[in-house]
Amino acid sequence: MSRLSVRRTLQRPQVRRIAGNTVWLMSERVARGLVAVLVTAAVARYLGASQFGILSYALSFVLLFSTLWTLGLSGLVVRELVRKPYEFNETLGTLFVLRGVGGLIGVALIVVAANLVGLDNDLARTAIAILAVATLFHSFDGIDFWFQSQVRSRYEVTARLVALAVTAATNVMLIVVQAPLIAFVFAVALEHVVAGVSLVAVYSWTGQSVLRWRPTMAKARFLLSASWPLLLSGAFSAINLRIDQIMLGNMAGAAEVGTYAAAARLSEIWYFVPTAIAASVFPALLHAREASRQAYERRQQQLYDLMALISIPIALAVSLLSPILVHVIYGPEFASSALVLSIHVWAGPFVFMAAILSKWLVAENLLKFSFIRHGAGALTNVVLNLLLIPQFGGVGSAIATLVSYAVASHLASFAYRPTWGAARRMTLALAAPPRYLLAAVRQATR
């Protein structure tokens, strides 16, 4: 048997495993996206723009502090679990303690900050406090990372689908009984709780136990010392992702947040695609890096091209159909969301490529650049929102989001020599649709 045949034989099981894992992840994300559209539309129609804006503001406010419980450790923990699978109990136990402590600090800071800068509304502050407490259940997300490292995401998917089903059913019931806004806040919090409990259940079902986790100071020092650039980049990323709705709420009011959030939900439902693909291929990308530099770089370009080939047609279709989509899904009260959606959706291609870029930065240990690029994006977003919201409202915020995502995900890579290769690959990927179309035409005419 030739060397090439041996290599192909060895790779086939891995390829099938990655493909199967991606199908599971994609299935969960598709289900989540569809349910999110249906439930969000129903809740938005029931609550109206103003109350839906309060709910969206509370969610964004809490997620602004998400770095305090994620600690920027997700990619780093997966890498550690792939490289040292025999230390998984130590790694998961340490992560659980770190996230628990970070979550408690986060809850305290969120409650204090909400009373200082939140909407002038007691209901908004109460909603923020409830959602903040629910985030403590993210301490069990290490189980998700373990399944990712094992390329066995079907278990994690099962847990999250259970949480999704419970939350969707709860929201429908609340609409039927005409419940107040605070009940929908508890429904959102319930998803975090059920997801955490379900992860523990499926982890136990596979023969493992959280009682075997062994947190150690040595592992904590290692993770924290290695993750501080990711922690800072996570903080800047959270600002870049959520500051738009917070600034809109404080500068334009809850109703403006509602119409903007409705558009953003439709724009962002596609973001499950890059997340699922990147999570599935990350372990294989790490192995490819060790095996062949040429194959490693070729695989990166293929992944960037794939992201562009998926996201650009989506952005074009949604942008053209935005008035129809908004009218059908949300109704006439949210008509102003159409223009916001047609702009906001073009941030998608940069988000798609950023999923691969972030994994590559972890693989190459270029973590310091991660917080630089996210910092540049966050600064761009804040400055543009300050300039554009007073005059254009939600439309101005959508423009700020698009530009800031382009800066953080693509343009910043040109400013740092070690990332020039990634910048070149992303630039080439943005031209992937005409490149592949031209190649197909040439092939057909031969």
Dihedral-angle region of residue 410 (phi above 0 means left; psi in -120 to 50 means alpha; beta otherwise): alpha
Residue 426's pLDDT is what? Answer: 94
How far is it, in rounded angstroms, from Cα 268 to Cα 439?
31
State the burial class of residue 9 (Cβ atoms within 10 Å of its Cβ: 0-12, 13-18, 19+).
exposed
> Is 162 buried (19+), middle (13-18) or exposed (0-12) by CB count in 10 A?
middle
Q: Is the pLDDT of residue 308 over 80?
A: yes
Separation of alpha carbons 62 and 114, rounded Å? 9
Query: What does the alpha-carbon distance between residue 76 and residue 227 come to, in Å, rounded to a whole number?
Result: 7
pLDDT band (50, 70, 90) for residue 368: confident
Residue 410's identity, in one-letter code, is: H
Element (H, E) at 67: helix 67-70
Q: Which of 414, 310, 314 is nearest to 353 (CA)?
A: 310
CB 106 within 8 A of CB 136: no
Helix residue ranges per DSSP H, 206-292: 217-252, 254-268, 272-291
pLDDT at 243 over 60: yes
Percent of the chain with pLDDT over 70: 91
How would DSSP label each residue in 268-304?
Answer: HGGGHHHHHHHHHHHHHHHHHHHH-HHHHHHHHHHHH
Amino acid in position 160: R
Could you read off the pLDDT of 263-279 as tens digits, one per residue? 998 898 888 788 778 87
Is the pLDDT reported for residue 378 higher than 50? yes
Residues in the chain: 446
Q: Which pLDDT band holds residue 348 (cuts at 50, 70, 90)?
A: very high
- Mean pLDDT confidence for 237-244: 83
How confident is the model over 315-337, as pLDDT tens digits? 999 999 999 999 999 988 899 99
User: Could you read off the pLDDT of 172-220 as tens digits, one per residue?
Assistant: 999 999 999 999 999 999 988 888 888 888 888 888 888 889 888 988 8
122 or 130, higher pLDDT: 130
pLDDT of residue 7: 46
> Would you give the distance in Å from CA 41 to the centre of its chain?
21
Residue pLDDT, tens place only, 112-129? 888 887 556 788 889 999
What is the distance between the alpha carbons of residues 33 and 298, in angstroms, rounded to a whole number? 31
What phi-psi label fits residue 253: left (phi over 0), alpha (psi between -120 and 50 degrees) or beta?
Answer: left
Give the residue from 79, 110, 109, 74 showing the smallest Cα distance to 95: 74
Phi, psi of 429, deg, nearest 5: -65, -35
Give which of 154, 236, 155, 229 is closest to 198, Cα–Cα.
Answer: 155
